[in-house]
């Protein structure tokens, strides 16, 4: 297994639209394992392939307290089943050190495939719903900072750009 490099805002590749996964092979299995290892090592609860600069439609997450419930969603499709919004303090491994309150639809249904291509469907609310919506946004080139005012977003961008300069 391997720890992958996570790209950070405002890296332009975070804006790429990911392509559907078509090959459910050993290479995909290795990518899934590496994404889990990378997410756990970074103390994250969710990671989209986009964040490791791979522009395929898959994401991994584990919102359990004990970090013992890895879940993978390949080619996820989301349906909103309760459009009432709920607020959550969101962060992102690609926007390290910043947390902001974001509103999203409360309850969703997700259809996806597992790592061997079998279809499944779940309903989610609470943090699982937030996390799935946040990670699917990544696959569409979208970040949680896009829901903030441009003033806030640009402040975050400028601070991260300073960090990137001083550490390179
Ligand atoms: C998305 O985010 C999420 O700034 C996943 O210094 C976040 O795993 C969904 C992290 C909140 C629902 C609620 C962020 C780790 C991890 C940081 C993450 C940091 C270290 C973020
Ligand atoms: Co994120």
pLDDT, tens only, 37-49:
999 999 999 999 9
| Per-residue model confidence (pLDDT) at position 26 | 98
Q: Is the pLDDT confidence value at 63 over 80?
A: yes
Residue nearest to atom 2 of ligand 1 (CA): 92
The answer to whether the CB of 131 is under 6 A from ligand 1 is: yes
Q: Using pLDDT thresholds of 50, 70 and 90, give the confidence band for residue 167.
A: confident
The answer to whether the CB of 88 is under 6 A from ligand 1 is: yes
Residue nearest to atom 16 of ligand 1 (CA): 44
Q: Is the pLDDT confidence value at 86 over 80?
A: yes
Q: Read off the pLDDT of residues 116-151 as tens digits, 9 standing for 90 and up.
A: 999 999 999 999 999 999 999 999 999 999 999 999
3-state DSSP helix/strand/coil % of the chain, to nearest 5: 35, 30, 35
Residue 162: how many other CB atoms lie within 10 Å: 10
What is the distance in A from the centroid of ligand 1 to the CA of 30? Answer: 23
| Per-residue model confidence (pLDDT) at position 168 | 72
Which residue bears the tokens 């991994």? 60
Residue nearest to atom 17 of ligand 1 (CA): 96
| Per-residue model confidence (pLDDT) at position 55 | 98
Query: Does residue 155 contact residue 100 with C-beta atoms inside 8 Å?
Result: no
What is the distance in A from the centroid of ligand 1 to the CA of 37? Answer: 15
The answer to whether the CB of 115 is under 6 A from ligand 1 is: no
Q: Using pLDDT thresholds of 50, 70 and 90, give the confidence band for residue 3.
A: very high
Q: What is the token pair recorded at 88? A: 């959550």
Question: Of 22, 24, 73, nearest to 49 (Cα)?
Answer: 73
What is the distance in A from the centroid of ligand 1 to the CA of 91? Answer: 4
| Mean residue pLDDT across the chain | 98
Q: Which residues are catalytic?
A: 135
């Amino acid at each position: 297994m391997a720890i992958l490099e996570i790209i950070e805002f405002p890296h332009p590749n975070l804006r790429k639209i990911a392509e559907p996964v078509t090959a459910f092979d050993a290479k995909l299995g290795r990518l899934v394992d590496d994404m889990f290892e990378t997410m756990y090592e970074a103390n994250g609860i969710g990671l989209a392939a986009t964040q490791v600069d791979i522009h395929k439609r898959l994401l991994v997450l584990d919102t359990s307290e004990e970090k013992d419930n890895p879940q993978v969603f390949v080619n996820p499709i989301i349906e909103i089943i309760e459009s009432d919004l709920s607020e959550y303090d969101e962060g992102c491994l690609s926007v390290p050190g910043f947390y902001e309150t974001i509103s999203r639809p409360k309850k969703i249904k997700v259809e996806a495939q597992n790592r061997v291509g079998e279809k499944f469907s779940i309903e989610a609310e609470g943090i699982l719903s937030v996390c799935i919506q946040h990670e699917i946004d990544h696959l569409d080139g979208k970040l949680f900072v896009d829901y903030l005012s441009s003033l806030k977003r640009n402040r975050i961008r400028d601070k991260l750009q300073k960090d990137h300069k001083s550490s390179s």
